[in-house]
Amino acid sequence: MKRRELLKTALASSVGLVGMSALKPLYASDAMMIKAEPMYDVPVTKVTDSCYYILAKDPEPTPENHAFFNNPGFVVTSEGVVVIDTGSSVQIGEMVLRQIKTVTDKPVVMVINTHYHGDHFLGNHAFVSAYPDVPIYAHPAAIEKIKSDGGDFWYGFMQRNSNNAITGTVVTLPNKTFKGGETIKVGDKTLKIHQFGVAHTESDLIIEVVEDKVAFMGDTAMRRVANMADGSFVGTIDAMKKAQALNCDHYIVGHGVHDNVKVCQDMQAFCEAIYNNAEEYYEEGLSDFEMKPKIMADPFMKNVASQWPGYDKTLGVFISLAVAEVEENLF
């Protein structure tokens, strides 16, 4: 681990030890670093003979779920395991390693972080501890973001929302890059790395497992009202068209249950319902506040999206973001 670039230890972080009385039980790790208790086991979901993920049932981090609210995935190849997204903490990363062992004895030979949100990279620490030489890939813009402020921000975010359940987690940077457009062989599997522009963030990687007709979508597609603050509605609509054109049988999403191509069609319909309506109502001179009930009356929003987690709480924020993007695209 010493050859890795480590940004911070939990002990050095003031965030990590705020509110000692409220801390979860602490355990001494091998390195005698204070560490929050282990993450409970969540069983794997099998998609094909080689592609798996661990389904997080909650849409957001809480003390009860230890900040486990995204779906780490993995591909078992003849050479070893490729892990796609590592969870929000070293504890969750260690849980993912335990679940991989229920499927195969093969080592982890590669880790990929689909983007720079903390639930997708903070678990890296566990993989580097178990496999010191494992390469961790991400888009160059994702690495820059984690380095500049994303590491600190996401560490604090998870600590606050989980009641310090990620104590002991060390922000561990990816050390290799994929820009999109790469085709690589890992053992008997062919991985195509796609980057379809700014969608959920500017750094999203989609990983297609060619032989299995599976696409790991990161957070570009999901059936929940997700964080679009770093993304683009127009970019997501475009990315969803490209994702559908991959013609995969299975799309594994960062949050929620996997599905066929319908999950990409729904994400496209969701972004179109918000953005296209916002564009139209903006031209009519409506404020985002006035648009909200009209957008909620859109058939897709009323019949489908209203069932998604976070709908009531965050739709207004989404509409504001869409209006900002409409304005940006006008000038």
Which parts of this chain interact with Zn ion (CB under 5 A)?
117, 219
**Residue 129 or residue 169: which is nearer to Zn ion going by CB?**
169
Q: Which one, 142 or 291, has the nearer CB to Zn ion?
A: 142
* Cβ 112 vs Cβ 137: under 8 Å: yes
Taken in order 182, 186, 187, 192, the sign of the CA dihedral is negative
Min dist CB 246 to Zn ion, Å, is 20
Alpha-carbon distance of 209 to 166, in angstroms, equals 31
Dist CA 318 CA 20 (whole Å)? 36
Cβ closer to Zn ion: 212 or 266? 266
- Output 117 or 145, the one with its CB closest to Zn ion: 117
Q: How far is CA 97 from CA 43, 56, 190, 208, 281, in A?
A: 12, 15, 23, 22, 49
d(CA 195, CA 185) in angstroms, rounded, equals 18
Q: How far is the CB of 239 from Zn ion (least distance, A)?
A: 13
| Cβ distance to Zn ion smaller for residue 219 or 325 | 219
Handedness of CA 193, 48, 108, 55 (dihedral sign): positive
Instruction: Using the CB atoms, write b or e for 85-102: b if 16+ within 10 Å.
Output: bbbbbbbbbbbbbebbee
Rounded least distance, CB 201 to Zn ion, Å:
7
Q: What single-letter amino acid sits at 207? A: I
The H or E element that residue 189 is part of is strand 189-194
Q: Cβ 218 to Zn ion, closest distance in Å?
A: 7
Q: How far is the CB of 30 from Zn ion (least distance, A)?
A: 31
Cβ nearer to Zn ion, comparing 212 with 219: 219
